[in-house]
Amino acid sequence: MASPIPYLLSLITFLPLIGALIVMALAGDGPKKRAAFITTLVTFVVSLLLWFNWDNGQANMQFVEDLRWLPEFNLRYHLGVDGISLFLVLLTTFLMPITIYFSNKYVTDSIGPYLALMLVLESAMIGAFIALDLVLFFVFFEFTLLPMYFLIGRWGSGNRVYAATKFFLYTFAGSAVMLVAILAVYFATGSFDITELPALAAKMSPTFQTWGFIAFALAFAIKIPLFPFHTWLPDAHVQAPTAGSIILAGVLLKLGTYGYLRFALPIFPEAAAHYGPVIAILAIIGIIYGALVALVQKDVKSLVAYSSVAHLGYVMLGVVAMNPQGISGAVLQMVNHGISTGALFLMVGLLYERRHTRLLAEFGGLWKSVPIFCGFFLVVAMSSAGLPGLNGFVGEFTILLGMYKHEPVFAILAAIGVILAAWYLLTAFRKIAQGPITNPANEANRLSDLKFDEIAMLLPLVLLFFIIGLFPNLFLDKINPSVQALINQQPAIVMKVGR
Amino acid sequence: MSANLNVSVILPELILVGFAMLIMILDMVGTDERPIGRTFLPWLALIGVAVTGIVCLQQYSQPAASFQGGAISDHFALGLRLIILVATALGILLSVSYIPRINKQVGEYYALLLLCAAGMTMMGAATDLMVVFMALEILSLALYILCGLNRENPRSSEASMKYFLLGAFASAFFVYGAALIYGAAGSTQYDAIAKALAGSNTNPALLYPGIALLLVGFGFKVSLVPFHMWTPDVYQGAPTPVTAFMSVGTKAAGFAAFIRVLVIALPAQQPSWGWALAIMAILTMTLGNLAALRQSSLKRMLAYSSIAHAGYVLVGIVAGTSEGADAALFYLFTYAFMNIGAFAVVIMLEKANEGDALQNRAAGIGQRWPWLALAMAIFMFSLSGVPPLAGFFGKLFVFKAAVDGGWAWLAVIGMLNSAIGAYYYLRVTVSMYFEKPGAETLSQRSTWSPLSVGLAVAAIFTVLIGILPGMWTALFTGGLTGLGG
């Protein structure tokens, strides 16, 4: 609880924003690139203070800041992190330097505004993960749309304007209804504060809870995206620039799962328990459907995009299991998916910058020409597929364990997805790396292997795969108390669904 | 109390009218060949607005007083005055270099603008149906002339004629309604009406048709569907600074008077007018947004969008609470900056002598004029209600008032509508940022002008109100005061 610096969370949130202003003020691409990269590195280092000053025994919010924002409406500038949000903040600050480095290297078209938008996006995402006031959360949550919209629409490829508009309108429409639900919650309880709201849940009638829950769940289901609200995702991912895809998959989608866990569940506990099976079924459909569609993709990037639909299905499955294993696994899996899929998009981006195509048919036999690349690709694919010893396994296993306790049938069905994931990822690997070289453009003399700085970008991610895979308790120790507290808040629910 | 003659209550209007007179006199000093002092007139008008603004801000600390029962100086009236003054000041900045291009009568333009503003501010203060009518006519007559100011352009004359004919009808509806309510209540003063109608011995055959006719009259002024037909044509035809000014000014004034009548004079009838307003709100939001989707002219697009925004304001009023009144006023305050700002960009994009800009004029300006595009993007996102811009908090408060009043379903329809609205606002940013500059794209632009100052002020406030809404809400809180005490 002891914060080494006052207003540490505000500092972490607004450092990137200040960096964005500096980037805009500087002249010349070189200084802009350096400023952006240094900003994200500094933000990451500062955010590590959260980790080092963390109180493992504390389940409540830490590093809390609470200021009046708009007293007439009881709006507060209330920030804090607990075990659930800590790693999402760290995931964001960790992924940003990597994506900025990649962009510095490969984005050529008006880099200044690009970097500024990326930094603004970082501020908005961090803000959304640490806001404890519903309206403040909503402000950050919605504001993430703007930079992402411009990143896809301006720097994307092919059908970028369509993809950007679809992304914006889908999410905007979803959250529009949530805003009314937020207002209704305030009307019923007199509070916008998530630390107070669980105790006030009794003030809401069952009908009210149902409608409020549906409104919240819809907004988050679109963001996650849960089947059948996923149709914006492949468009956005495929057209987005590489750094945009990494952030979109790595962090932005987590706003959906996080929002569900942090807000929809504690505010509407009874409705959440009642509709949990519906969410679980949608998640399982997403797991299997996403995997099957990924299997037949011709474009590597859309393959990774559909794999996200499947992976986030696991996260939601863990959340609705409503027991410590399920939810802790879900929180860990959010981080896992962030780094694994982030790394996958990074690999695809590196490949695309070399060959300017992402079609699987264009590749084959790369193992012979670019072995280092293929080595990394294999590790990343294995991490995403959930190979034991790597991060993905820990998350998925814990989730399935939690779900099995709660509802064995769901767990068994979801386990099919694990097999499918290995199948489509290995198929992709086989098509890219193995076999003979069929296209002369893939010969060793035409295709360069990973350079030192590109390895340096991938290495932190790969190290993290192993750290999480081998020492999951480093993370779970910090996650578990908060998850336990979340579950304890809803004794009625545990009794109702516990077997 | 109602017999007292507190001149301070109508002091802001007196100052505005005084400056209008002064401008007309000074205008006569110069001739067409030697326009002595004419370049100074806009700035004189601006000083008039500033003086009025200072007087209003000072009156916030004084208790509400009544002017013979006809007008009151409560916070609601003062809040409306601030909105009108903001709109007038921005309107003046937009006009400085525009009006001389289309008309030589610079002096009468600013005099009419100030008279119009005086009528508008009076609408919020009036506590008597006859005073409302008087204020309505002051502002309308001035506006009829202002709309037709560009005599070279037939569209402008058409706008003036259309507005005049339909406006005269609407005024007649209003007076008829006022007469019927007088028949039912025996007074035109709000507190007396409320007192008379609280009893059971009212004549519904007079009262309800009276209320309905009032709704028609007001509905026309603030362009509610189905009384909105004039809006696109008049907005498109009128000189753009006038459109900018009236789109905010008439709306704010009309709504203020509307709210005071409904909440102070007719609170007991809320169950019936609440439903009428709810239905009109749904129609207004939906039709406004759907029609805006199909426009290629920026002015017409903004005209339909202003209809949709009238619908959002209406959502706040339906419950008839004083919270809703405050929320509606705050909404109009944010609307003043974002909407006039958007029109300022339209003026920049207009071709000389055309008085309108198609959307393709904005194609690719993100590369050519980054600051102009940024400002327009701020206005567009604020109009669609994206946080943390001013428009978001306007919507938040209005919909909160609806939810608190038990009209949550109406707020849901409102929010869904704002998602439809986002599409056409987004289209402007798409062409600004995601398209390459074409043959039609704006190619020349003056570097510094009062217009760019107005534009910058509007953009800065749109962001500032969004980030620190608490600085401004105090001006629009606890506004409505009855006369009784």
Q: What pLDDT digit, counting tens, does each position of B136-179 carry?
A: 999 999 999 999 888 888 888 899 999 999 999 999 999 999 99
Give the residue from chain A lying closest to B465, CA to CA: A70
Rounded to a whole number, what is the distance in Å from the CA of B223 to chain A's nearest CA? 25
Phi, psi dihedral angles at B297 (to 5 degrees)? -80, 130
Q: How confident is the model at residue B353 (pLDDT cuts 50, 70, 90)?
A: low
pTM score over 0.90: no
State the DSSP string of A103-146: HHHH--S-HHHHHHHHHHHHHHHHHHHHB-BHHHHHHHHHHTHH
Smallest Cα–Cα separation from B332: which of B49, B53, B81, B131? B81
Do A169 and B387 count as a contact with CB atoms less than 8 A apart? no
Question: Of A303, A421, A308, nearest to A351 (Cα)?
Answer: A303
Q: For the segment A279-317, what is each residue's pLDDT rounded down to a tens digit? A: 999 999 999 999 999 999 888 889 999 998 889 999 999
State the number of CA atoms in the 13 A half-sphere of B386 facing the CB: 26
Question: Which residues in chain A are closer than 8 Å to B423, comparing Cβ atoms?
Answer: 165, 169
pLDDT digits (tens, 9 = 90+) for A246-276: 999 889 999 999 999 999 888 888 888 888 8
Region A186-199: what's the mean pLDDT? 86
Q: Provide DSSP, A279-299.
A: HHHHHHHHHHHHHHHHHT-SB
A73·B400 Cβ contact <8 A: yes
- HSE-CB for B59 with a 13 A CA cutoff: 27
pLDDT at A88 over 90: yes
Q: Is the pLDDT of residue B83 over 90?
A: yes
* Closest residue, chain A, to B472 (C-alpha): A70
A162: contact with B, CB 8 A cutoff = no
Q: Classify residue B477 by burial, with Cβ atoms within 10 Å: 0-12, 13-18, 19+.
A: middle
Instruction: Please tell me the distance in Å from A342's CA to the nearest CA on chain B.
Output: 26
Q: B-chain residues within 8 Å CB-CB of A153?
A: 430, 433-434
Give pLDDT tens digits for A385-394. 888 888 888 8
Between the CA of residue B328 and those of A179, B258, B459, B476, what are the distances in Å?
18, 11, 21, 9
Among A73, A146, A179, the residue with its CB nearest the CB of B381 is A146
CA distance B60 to B310: 27
Measured CA to CA, the distance from residue A10 to residue A49 in angstroms comes to 13
User: B434, A154: Cβ pair inside 8 Å?
Assistant: yes
Nearest CA among A241, A260, A268 for reference residue A152 = A241
pLDDT at A315: 92
A143 and B388: CB-CB below 8 Å? yes
Q: Quick one: tokens of A446? A: 């035409």
pLDDT attached to residue A498: 39
The residues, ordered by sequence, that sit 6+ positions from B62 with a Cβ below 8 Å of its Cβ are: B8, B73
Closest by Cβ to A150, choosing from B411, B422, B433:
B433
Across-strand partners of A78?
A66
Q: From the candidates A137, A152, A172, which should be mutated to test the interface with B, based on the most B CB atoms within 10 A? A: A172
Angle formed at CA B51 by CA B17 and CA B393, multiple of 5 degrees = 105
Within an 8 Å CB–CB cutoff, is residue A136 touching chain B? no
Judge whether A139 is closer than 8 Å to chain B, CB to CB. yes
Q: What is the ipTM of this complex?
A: 0.83
Which of A235-239, B223-227, B355-359 shows the lowest per-residue confidence on average (mean pLDDT)? B355-359
Whether A143 sits inside 8 A of B387 (CB atoms) is yes
Q: Do A177 and B412 touch (CB under 8 A)?
A: yes
DSSP annotation of B151: T
pLDDT for the residue numbered B446: 65
CA B446 – CA B96 distance, rounded (Å): 13
Tens digit of each residue's pLDDT (9 = 90 or more) over A26-79: 888 888 889 999 999 999 999 999 888 888 888 888 888 888 888 777 888 999
Q: What is the pLDDT of residue B465?
A: 92
Give the Å distances, CA to CA, from B167 to A293, B137, B163, B299.
Answer: 60, 9, 5, 21
- Which chain A residue's Cα is nearest to B476? A72
Nearest chain A residue (CA) to B392: A139
**Chain B: residue whose CA lies nearest to A173:** B419
Average pLDDT over residues B320-349: 92
Measured between alpha carbons, how far is A20 from A39 in angstroms, rounded to an integer? 9
Helix or strand (DSSP H, E) at A67: strand A62-70
Exposed e or buried b per residue across B366-378, where buried means at least 16 C-beta atoms within 10 angstroms of its C-beta: beebeebbebbbb
pLDDT of residue A338: 92
Distance (Å, rounded) from C-alpha A335 to C-alpha A464? 10
**What are residue B140's DSSP bridge partners?**
none
Question: Two tokens at A461?
Answer: 């991610």
Tens of pLDDT, residues B60-74: 888 778 888 888 888
Q: Is the pLDDT of residue B1 over 90?
A: no
The answer to whether residues A182 and A138 touch, using CB atoms and an 8 Å cutoff, is: yes
- Work out the average pLDDT over B312-328: 90
Read off the pLDDT of residues A469-499 as tens digits, 9 standing for 90 and up: 899 888 888 888 888 888 887 755 444 443 3
For residue A465, what are its two tokens?
A: 């795969």
**Residues in A touching B399 (Cβ below 8 Å):** 179-180, 183
Chain B CB contacts of A169 below 8 Å: 419, 422-423, 426
Whether B415 has a pLDDT exceeding 80, the answer reads yes
